[in-house]
Amino acid sequence: MKTRSLQTLLLLTCVALFSSLPAHAHDVIPGVSGFVGRILHPFIITEHLFCLILAGLIAGLYGPRVIWISLGLLLGGILIGFLAQSVIPIISWLWMLPLGAAMIAGLMVLSAAPIGAQFWVGIIFMLGFSVGLETDPEGVFFMDKLRTLGGLVLAGGAVLLTIGWPLQGTERSWVRILARVVSSWITAIAMLVLALSF
C-alpha cells in the first residue's frame, strides 16, 4: 500500500513538473524579452521542448543520413506553422497540438517502426509545424513577429543538431534503448497531461 502511494505521488509530481500553460506573448524569464527571450521560449515551454527533442532523436537515428534534410524540414515546418497562424483561427485547445504531435512521434520512436526515412521526415515536419503554429509573437508589429520566428528557428535548429548530429550512423543498441526510454517518458507525460486536460 505504501509503495502504491509513493508511485501515485511520483506520478503526480511528474505531471505537475512537466505540464505547462499555453504559449502566449509574455516574458519567458522575467526581464528577458525580445530576441533572446524568443530563443529561450522553446526551452521553457515543455511541450515545445518535447517536440524538438524528438525531432533530434528521429533525425539522428531514423531520418536521412544527410542531417541537413531533417534540419530543413524541421525549420520549414516551424516557418509554415508560424505563418499559418494568420489563416488558422485561434482555438482554446490549440496548445494541445504540440503535446499530441509529441505523443505520436514518441510512440513511433518507442516502437522503432521500420517505415523508411521518408515517413520519418514527415514526422519531423509535423513536430516543427505544431511548434510554429502554437508559438505566439511577442508583439503585433512585423519586427516582433520576425524576432519570434528567428528565435524559434535558432532554438529548433540548435536542439536538432545537438541531439541528432552525434547520433547519426550509430548502431549501438544502448543508444537506441536510451532513445526509446526518453521517448517513452515524453509519450507518457504527453498522454497524462492530455488526459488531465479533458
pLDDT tens digits, residue range 173-191?
Answer: 888 899 999 999 999 999 9
Grid cell digits, residue 49: 521542448
Long-range contacts of 141-150 (CB under 8 A, 24+ apart): 145/82, 147/34, 147/35, 147/38, 148/38, 148/41, 148/82, 149/78, 149/79, 149/82, 150/35, 150/38
Fill in the DSSP letter of residue 118: H
Other CB atoms within 10 A of residue 95 CB: 17
pLDDT band, residue 16 (cuts 50/70/90)? very low
Q: Which long-range contacts (CB under 8 A, 24 or more apart) does 166-175 make?
A: 166/60, 167/56, 167/57, 167/59, 167/60, 167/61, 168/59, 168/60, 168/65, 168/67, 169/65, 170/60, 170/61, 175/61
**Number of neighbouring beta carbons within 10 Å of residue 142:** 9
Residue 30 pLDDT more than 70? no
Q: Which of 38-42, 126-130, 138-142 has the highest mean predicted lDDT (pLDDT)?
A: 126-130
Domain ranges for the chain: 34-197
Whether residue 160 is predicted with pLDDT greater than 70 in this model: the reply is yes
- Answer positive or negative: Cα dihedral of 114, 117, 123, 127: positive
- The whole-number average pLDDT for the span 10-33 is 48
Closest Cα to residue 57, out of 112, 12, 14, 19? 112
pLDDT of 38 over the 90 cut = no
Residue 32, φ and ψ in degrees, nearest 5 = -110, 110
**Other CB atoms closer than 10 Å to residue 130's CB: what's the count?**
26
pTM confidence score: 0.79
**What residue spans of the chain are helical by DSSP H?**
2-18, 34-44, 46-61, 67-83, 96-111, 117-133, 142-167, 173-197
Q: Within 13 Å, how many C-alpha atoms sit on residue 55's CB side?
A: 38
